[in-house]
Amino acid sequence: MIWDAEDALRALYGDGLRDLTRDGYQEELRRLRKQNPNLSRQVERILRPYLEKRVFPRRQIEWPATSIGTRARLALLPENPHVHEDALVVRAVLGIPDDQVQADEGSIAWKHLQDFLTPQAARRVAEGSLALSWLHVHIQTAIGQTVLSEDVETLPPAMQESAVRSAKVKLASADIPNWLQLPPSGPAPYNQDASPIEWATGRLVECHRLPWSIALALTFYVLTLDNHRLSGLEPLQVSINYGDEATRDPDAFTVAVHGIGEIAYVVASQLALSGVLCLGGIIPPPR
């Protein structure tokens, strides 16, 4: 006797992977009709409202909004001319000079690395260190905090000046490009309280429909214009939370996959139905 959707799914798919696409569902239903017509009618009666309301509509979103579409955008990101052009706009608006943030071979940051890294790797690490210091000065200035001298001892004075100056730019001003005026609506710090560089990065993420998990990498790209910082980025994030406050079960845990799209939903459906997997999607608003 079938009592609920889980029973019906088990009767239809067994204990294997459940293909909850329309084609996969119909194929399994045809197989069950041949084996057991009465059981197939029970399964269809229970699953039809469940699938029509909770599963199939989720799979009718546009391909670019799925995790596969996001993965494709990330794969193309290093050579995306539109992202590069918008990054140049951000740099111009924030007043970041063309020669920043770059490491010279004679700089302190470079000298510490040149003995054990290739020149290309040394440059990338040195510029990453400079960009991090620049970002620290920028954010501290934007929130009105004092920057300690030991925090920026490797940051050249010209870069310190641009970090401070850019932190005072008001991106909501009328003379700023329209797409950059709007406050980002992402997770902190990429929201209306963001520093100018984080505000701008947030808008880049939203305008190019990218996952928030790559926002920091995108910030470093804006500062260095090194497209290698945009290579190999993935749309998914996995987190594990232990314990359950509701049941007070210390052995309980939840695995959350953030950034999974509707196409991947079919693969995760079996885990989701049993309460093991939490699904989350990131579909930024269009520009």
Q: What share of the chain is helix, strand, coil (3-state, %, to 5)?
A: 55, 5, 40
Per-residue pLDDT of the chain (287 residues; tens, 9 = 90+): 667 888 888 889 887 777 777 778 889 999 999 999 999 999 998 888 878 776 665 556 677 777 778 888 999 999 999 999 999 999 999 999 998 898 777 666 666 777 777 878 888 888 998 999 999 999 999 999 988 888 788 788 999 999 999 999 999 887 899 999 999 999 889 988 889 999 999 999 999 999 998 999 999 999 999 999 999 998 877 777 776 665 566 777 777 766 665 444 443 443 333 333 333 333 333 44
* CA-based torsion, 8, 14, 18, 19: positive or negative: negative
Report the pLDDT value the prediction gives residue 282, as an integer from 0 to 100. Answer: 31
Write down the pLDDT at residue 268. Answer: 41
Check residue 14 and give its pLDDT. Answer: 85
How many CB atoms are closer than 10 A to CB 129? Answer: 20
Half-sphere exposure of 248 (CA within 13 A, CB side): 0
The pTM of the full predicted model, rounded to 2 decimals, is 0.68
| Complete edge-to-edge strand list for the sheet that includes strand 277-280 | 237-242, 253-258, 277-280
Q: What residues contact residue 222 under an 8 Å CB cut-off, 6+ apart?
A: 87, 90, 91, 197, 200, 201, 204
Cα 74 from Cα 210, distance rounded (Å):
7
Residue 196 has a pLDDT of 96
217, 233 in Cβ contact below 8 A?
yes
